[in-house]
A and B are shown apart, each in its own frame.
Chain A
């Protein structure tokens, strides 16, 4: 039982990432007032993970030997839901129920209701701890699955991240791959020279240096370059005896020109004109992705 009934090319993954961005924007528009920037910066990597990397079976989401994925930056949940839907865990039409009452698609991931969600998350940093427990449990239980966990750069403000980073190194957890979606912006962030300029929470090599200081192997990559990201994952999986973090340099709001790099699109609903322009830029002039 592996994913490989069909193999996907990096071009296929890029197309799924494009469709995902369209599908992300639809329920955001529908539900009103939810996250956009973070889901867009993560979309290419999620497409690569779900269509090119992870050994999963959408028809059997609790298969115990599956690779695990934890979206520790849980406020980007719509990006995960979209990828799960495109991968076949549940109908894409269900995405429009996002954040609605009684929906399986909660504002932040809930493992008790959504097929394919391996760990609840949303209180930042906790998903990372859960993912480390999954990886340690995999070792304790003699399993050889890989656990992938995606954090935000803003999330790395949380002290619990560094609690876990220390413990993971002590156990040489080489069955976990952490990915930091390093889009350089957080919700409010750190004011730069002018009021609407925001500077990265981690300047220069500060983020990579932190992980190295905690004895993690660091791989840096362009998080929107799918072939490069796939190669980074392969490098990560080949490392033995220590945990690996992929620091993925990304652009918040990637894919829509007026959202890119603007912290105000962390959580904002486009007006009709902006929505039309965004859909056009995403290659959806008729609206509605396949």
Chain B
């Protein structure tokens, strides 16, 4: 398979970017749930100690405090910890105090998806996208690489309202050039093709791109669309890109139930019914293990994506 340039973990790109933005944007404050050295908001802490607030290992309170801070002046609280402890543990605080009042709080969801580094079932939250996507007023953004992470952070800080921002732990291939500009609510075609439209989100889009390039050798021309904003979904682009091939496969580093695949299936079911196959994590919990072994066991490596596309296309004939 093709080799892409390896870039920084998104957590590092995030920490560096918010520290840089805070040089001129005095509205930014960070609340940390005692994970800053992992999620890398410690980069912000070192640069702006007076605007970094350690709130301890107490996530429900932390999210509530973020909401309160957002009501004072024009402060923009960036609340950061592991994905599981935001979307799952602190769900009620987010629902009642952030989402319903539509307060300007940015949820930095670190260590998302399958590859959270030898942590296992407690720290691996496969259903964060469905949970946050189902919450009214919430915007859900899943960048693919460090370039998009930096650009998307500018966009979500410019947006006045709650955003769930999904970050990963490990080094991440770069698929976008330095001139790429993220647009909130827009999906982007990253590889034009005629045979099957593949929708992907987050760092997993890089695996889908690798799969698409490999499949070209097998005579399958993949039309790959990256969907960084899972909510609000770019319905017009989704429908248009789907209709280009009349055949859709979704793939993600997250549960196939209600995630990106769910969102695409709902949309196409209503607006443009056609064969849709959802690929991603199944109805299971996670476990400890090295990244490669986890990708293999849970069936979401680039090779697995390629095989899923190939099988799906073959099944249509």
Contact = CB atoms under 8 A, between A and B. Distances in A.
Contact of A126 (B53, B64, B69, B72): B64
Interface in A26-84: 64
A191 B55 CA distance: 37
B69 A111 contact: no
Contacts of B38: none
Given A112-B101, A164-B61, A119 B67 contact: yes
Interface string A127-153: 011111111111011010000000000
A83 B317 CA distance: 71
Contact of B65 (A112, A121, A136): A136
A186 interface: no
Interface in B98-126: 100-102
A137 B58 contact: no
Contacts of B97: 119-120, 126, 129-130
B60 A143 contact: no
A136 B65 CA distance: 8
Contact of A163 (B58, B69, B75): B58
B117 to A, nearest CB: 26
Contacts of A119: 67-68, 71, 97
B92 interface: yes
Interface string A159-178: 11001101100110000000
Contacts of B100: 110, 112, 120
Contacts, number: 115
A118 interface: yes
B25 to A, nearest CB: 14
B29 interface: yes
Interface size bucket, A side? 20 to 34
Interface string B88-102: 000011001100111
A138 B73 CA distance: 8
Nearest to B56: A167
A270 interface: no
Nearest to A165: B61
Contacts of B68: 119, 129-137
B51 interface: yes
Describe A's contact surface by its main secondary structure: helix
A167 B101 contact: no
Nearest to A112: B101
Contacts of B60: 125-126, 129, 159-160, 163
Contact of B96 (A122, A134, A135, A167): A122
B202 interface: no
A103 interface: no
Nearest to B65: A133
Nearest to B93: A126
Question: In this complex, which of A130, A163, A170 has the most chain B Cβ atoms within 10 angstroms of its Cβ?
Answer: A130
B53 A160 contact: no
Given A120-B100, A134-B69, A164-B58, A140 B51 contact: yes
B161 interface: no
Interface in A96-119: 110-112, 118-119
A135 B66 CA distance: 11
Contacts of A166: 56, 58
Contacts of B55: 167
A64 B73 contact: yes
Q: 4 smallest A-B Cβ distances: which pairs?
A: A133-B68, A129-B64, A137-B72, A163-B58
Interface of A: 64, 110-112, 118-123, 125-126, 128-138, 140-141, 143, 159-160, 163-164, 166-167, 170-171
Given A137-B71, A137-B73, 14 more contacts: A121-B96, A126-B64, A126-B96, A129-B67, A129-B97, A130-B64, A132-B64, A132-B68, A133-B67, A135-B68, A163-B58, A163-B60, A164-B58, A170-B56
13 contacts: A126-B92, A133-B64, A133-B69, A133-B70, A134-B69, A135-B68, A136-B53, A136-B68, A137-B73, A163-B58, A164-B65, A170-B56, A171-B53
